[in-house]
Chain A
């Protein structure tokens, strides 16, 4: 059965299901991520931090959240 209240998305290569009308800001809250420490790409385009609350996630969206790790 298709649940119309849920959206299937791909987050960092993993398939997850979230509520409809979930914003990027809500997504960060769900994963306890500090927006100062990450950057987000939505369907291949970078989303500026000021847009996180306005940008709502849609079905089939591909989202990448990145941060800095140790590297040479």
Chain B
């Protein structure tokens, strides 16, 4: 079998498990969980520096951007203007061109505003960004994002941080089947088996934050997700058996005494 490589916009990403860096108890736990997950790409947020506390530890001191791929996000942005501003600053910080775009439309559901998202995708692609786009699981919108030049489609499994797992396998499958760019299931994954299911559906990767960071033992959960993603991918590649209504014996009938 040829090597199963995961590429986003020609960049090889060594793990199909992408992890978020939010919600951990502290930066040392963040670093340990990410190490255990063996992720090659992590999402990061852009925020104001705390000017009142000069000694506050920095994420970059715990996660070296030379060793792990930073994927700046636009979490908390509710319109195109805010999202573009955030990602332009992220690019200035260290030349990050690969970014995760999310433009939210509702504070309670944190559901993406797809009109603003599509608008922002077009602008960012024009400016040379490689955009991974957080989106609804609507196949038509996913296609529009791909046509607009998105480098990856990131449909939600269920609302951000909800842990409700995959709620619409059919839509995810439709998106996976039609997309020529990678499909990464983002948001709502609750536990490792959800990630396996996503991978078995044929998606190219998953993005996990809360399910690891808020687990009782985040380090162990990170390792569990690593295995779950590998397992799901191998299962997808191996090709599952058909479902039958009746039993089919596993032992041969011939030679029965």
Q: Which residues of A contact B60 (CB under 8 A)?
A: 37, 67-68
Bound-complex Cα distance A11 to B51 (A): 8
Is B36 among interface residues, defined by CB-CB distance under 8 A?
Answer: no
Q: Helix, strand, loop or mixed for chain B's interface?
A: mixed
- Stretch binding the partner chain, chosen from B17-25, B177-185, B248-256: B17-25
| B contact residues, total (Cβ < 8 Å) | 37
What does the 1/0 interface line of A5-28 toward B look like (CB < 8 Å)?
000000111101000000000000
Contacts A48-B92, A72-B73, A72-B160; A67 near B58 (Cβ below 8 A): yes
Contacts A68-B72, A71-B22; A39 near B209 (Cβ below 8 A): no
Closest B residue to A68 by beta carbon equals: B44
Partner of B48, one of A16, A37, A66: A66
Tell me if B30 and A31 are in contact (CB < 8 A): no
Tell me if B47 and A67 are in contact (CB < 8 A): yes
Shortest distance between the CB of A49 and any CB in chain B (Å): 7
Q: Which residues of A contact B72 (CB under 8 A)?
A: 68
Partner of B51, one of A12, A37, A39: A12
Q: Which residues of A contact B90 (CB under 8 A)?
A: 39, 68
Q: Which residues of B contact A68 (CB under 8 A)?
A: 44-47, 58-60, 70, 72, 90, 93
Tell me if A33 and B49 are in contact (CB < 8 A): yes
Shortest distance between the CB of A57 and any CB in chain B (Å): 14
Within 8 A of A (CB), among B15-47: 20-24, 27, 30, 43-47
Is B174 among interface residues, defined by CB-CB distance under 8 A?
Answer: no
Scoring A31, A32, A48, A68 by chain B CB atoms within 10 A of each residue's CB, the highest score goes to A68
Partner of A49, one of B27, B44, B89, B92: B92
A/B interface sample: 15 pairs, CB < 8 A: A12-B49, A12-B51, A14-B51, A37-B58, A37-B93, A39-B89, A41-B85, A49-B92, A64-B89, A68-B47, A69-B46, A69-B59, A70-B24, A71-B44, A72-B45
Given contacts A66-B46, A68-B93, 11 further A-B contacts (CB under 8 A): A12-B48, A32-B54, A41-B85, A48-B92, A66-B48, A69-B47, A70-B22, A70-B27, A70-B30, A71-B20, A72-B22
